[in-house]
Amino acid sequence: MHFLHQDDLGRLLLRLCVGGLILLHGIDKLMNPATISGIAQQLTSVGLPSFVAYGVLVGEIVAPLMTIVGWRARIGGLLMAINMIVALALVHTGQLWTLNSQGGWTLELQGMFLFGALAIMFLGSGRMAARPD
Protein backbone atom coordinates (compact mmCIF):
# COMPACT_ATOMS: atom_id res chain seq x y z
CA MET A 1 0.00 0.00 0.00
CA HIS A 2 2.98 2.27 -0.54
CA PHE A 3 1.05 4.17 -3.22
CA LEU A 4 -1.24 5.52 -0.48
CA HIS A 5 1.66 7.25 1.27
CA GLN A 6 2.14 10.23 -1.02
CA ASP A 7 2.56 13.12 1.41
CA ASP A 8 4.01 15.47 -1.20
CA LEU A 9 1.15 14.78 -3.61
CA GLY A 10 -1.31 15.46 -0.78
CA ARG A 11 0.40 18.77 -0.04
CA LEU A 12 0.27 19.70 -3.72
CA LEU A 13 -3.45 18.92 -3.91
CA LEU A 14 -4.09 20.97 -0.76
CA ARG A 15 -2.07 23.90 -2.13
CA LEU A 16 -3.84 23.81 -5.49
CA CYS A 17 -7.30 23.50 -3.97
CA VAL A 18 -7.07 26.14 -1.23
CA GLY A 19 -4.88 28.52 -3.23
CA GLY A 20 -6.90 28.14 -6.42
CA LEU A 21 -10.28 28.66 -4.79
CA ILE A 22 -9.16 31.69 -2.76
CA LEU A 23 -7.47 33.13 -5.87
CA LEU A 24 -10.83 33.16 -7.65
CA HIS A 25 -12.19 35.44 -4.91
CA GLY A 26 -9.21 37.75 -5.41
CA ILE A 27 -9.70 37.84 -9.19
CA ASP A 28 -13.33 38.76 -8.62
CA LYS A 29 -12.25 41.67 -6.43
CA LEU A 30 -9.84 42.87 -9.13
CA MET A 31 -12.63 42.73 -11.69
CA ASN A 32 -15.09 44.50 -9.36
CA PRO A 33 -13.16 47.30 -7.62
CA ALA A 34 -16.29 48.44 -5.78
CA THR A 35 -15.77 45.41 -3.55
CA ILE A 36 -12.54 46.93 -2.23
CA SER A 37 -14.43 50.15 -1.48
CA GLY A 38 -17.01 48.17 0.48
CA ILE A 39 -14.28 46.48 2.48
CA ALA A 40 -12.69 49.89 3.13
CA GLN A 41 -16.01 51.16 4.51
CA GLN A 42 -16.30 48.14 6.80
CA LEU A 43 -12.77 48.73 8.07
CA THR A 44 -13.35 52.42 8.78
CA SER A 45 -16.56 51.54 10.63
CA VAL A 46 -14.46 49.59 13.13
CA GLY A 47 -11.79 52.29 13.39
CA LEU A 48 -9.20 50.96 10.95
CA PRO A 49 -7.77 53.00 8.07
CA SER A 50 -9.38 52.38 4.69
CA PHE A 51 -6.09 51.57 2.91
CA VAL A 52 -5.96 48.31 4.89
CA ALA A 53 -8.65 47.07 2.47
CA TYR A 54 -5.95 46.59 -0.16
CA GLY A 55 -4.51 43.89 2.07
CA VAL A 56 -7.27 41.64 0.74
CA LEU A 57 -5.37 41.59 -2.55
CA VAL A 58 -2.33 40.24 -0.72
CA GLY A 59 -4.45 37.59 0.98
CA GLU A 60 -6.46 36.64 -2.10
CA ILE A 61 -4.01 37.17 -5.01
CA VAL A 62 -0.39 37.19 -3.85
CA ALA A 63 -0.64 34.55 -1.10
CA PRO A 64 -2.64 32.05 -3.20
CA LEU A 65 -0.16 32.40 -6.08
CA MET A 66 2.73 31.81 -3.67
CA THR A 67 0.94 28.76 -2.36
CA ILE A 68 -0.04 27.33 -5.74
CA VAL A 69 3.49 27.46 -7.15
CA GLY A 70 5.03 26.41 -3.85
CA TRP A 71 7.22 29.44 -3.25
CA ARG A 72 7.20 30.36 0.44
CA ALA A 73 4.03 28.29 0.81
CA ARG A 74 4.11 28.51 4.61
CA ILE A 75 4.04 32.32 4.43
CA GLY A 76 1.31 32.13 1.77
CA GLY A 77 -0.75 29.92 4.09
CA LEU A 78 -0.25 32.36 6.97
CA LEU A 79 -1.33 35.33 4.82
CA MET A 80 -4.44 33.49 3.60
CA ALA A 81 -5.31 32.53 7.18
CA ILE A 82 -4.97 36.15 8.33
CA ASN A 83 -7.15 37.22 5.41
CA MET A 84 -9.83 34.73 6.47
CA ILE A 85 -9.69 35.80 10.12
CA VAL A 86 -10.22 39.42 9.08
CA ALA A 87 -13.11 38.39 6.81
CA LEU A 88 -14.70 36.40 9.63
CA ALA A 89 -14.30 39.31 12.05
CA LEU A 90 -15.63 41.96 9.65
CA VAL A 91 -18.46 40.12 7.95
CA HIS A 92 -19.32 36.81 9.55
CA THR A 93 -19.21 37.08 13.36
CA GLY A 94 -22.99 36.88 13.54
CA GLN A 95 -22.88 33.53 11.73
CA LEU A 96 -20.20 31.83 13.85
CA TRP A 97 -22.66 29.69 15.77
CA THR A 98 -25.33 29.18 13.09
CA LEU A 99 -26.28 26.29 10.83
CA ASN A 100 -27.55 26.48 7.28
CA SER A 101 -30.79 24.94 6.00
CA GLN A 102 -29.04 21.61 5.35
CA GLY A 103 -27.73 21.39 8.90
CA GLY A 104 -24.13 22.32 8.05
CA TRP A 105 -22.15 25.17 9.57
CA THR A 106 -23.12 28.42 7.86
CA LEU A 107 -19.44 29.30 7.53
CA GLU A 108 -18.19 25.94 6.27
CA LEU A 109 -16.58 27.47 3.15
CA GLN A 110 -14.81 30.14 5.17
CA GLY A 111 -13.84 27.52 7.74
CA MET A 112 -12.36 25.24 5.08
CA PHE A 113 -10.39 28.17 3.66
CA LEU A 114 -9.10 29.17 7.10
CA PHE A 115 -8.16 25.70 8.30
CA GLY A 116 -6.82 24.67 4.88
CA ALA A 117 -4.58 27.73 4.91
CA LEU A 118 -3.41 26.88 8.42
CA ALA A 119 -2.68 23.31 7.30
CA ILE A 120 -0.52 24.67 4.46
CA MET A 121 1.26 26.94 6.92
CA PHE A 122 2.08 23.99 9.19
CA LEU A 123 2.77 21.37 6.49
CA GLY A 124 4.73 23.47 4.00
CA SER A 125 4.84 22.93 0.27
CA GLY A 126 6.31 19.45 0.03
CA ARG A 127 8.75 18.44 -2.71
CA MET A 128 6.36 19.20 -5.60
CA ALA A 129 7.00 22.92 -5.47
CA ALA A 130 9.01 25.66 -7.12
CA ARG A 131 10.92 26.05 -3.85
CA PRO A 132 10.16 23.23 -1.40
CA ASP A 133 10.08 24.25 2.23
50-109 pLDDT per residue, tens:
999 999 999 999 999 999 999 999 999 999 999 999 999 999 999 999 999 999 999 999
CA atoms within 13 A on the CB side of 3: 0
The domain segmentation of the chain, as residue ranges, is 6-123
Per-residue pLDDT tens over the stretch 17-56: 999 999 999 999 999 999 999 999 999 999 999 999 999 9
Residues 23 and 61: beta-carbon distance below 8 Å: yes
Task: Say what the pLDDT of residue 5 is.
Answer: 83
- Residue 76: name the closest of 121, 127, 17 by CA: 121
Torsion angles phi and psi, residue 105, rounded to 5:
-65, 135
Asked if 8 and 127 touch (Cβ cutoff 8 Å), the reply is: yes
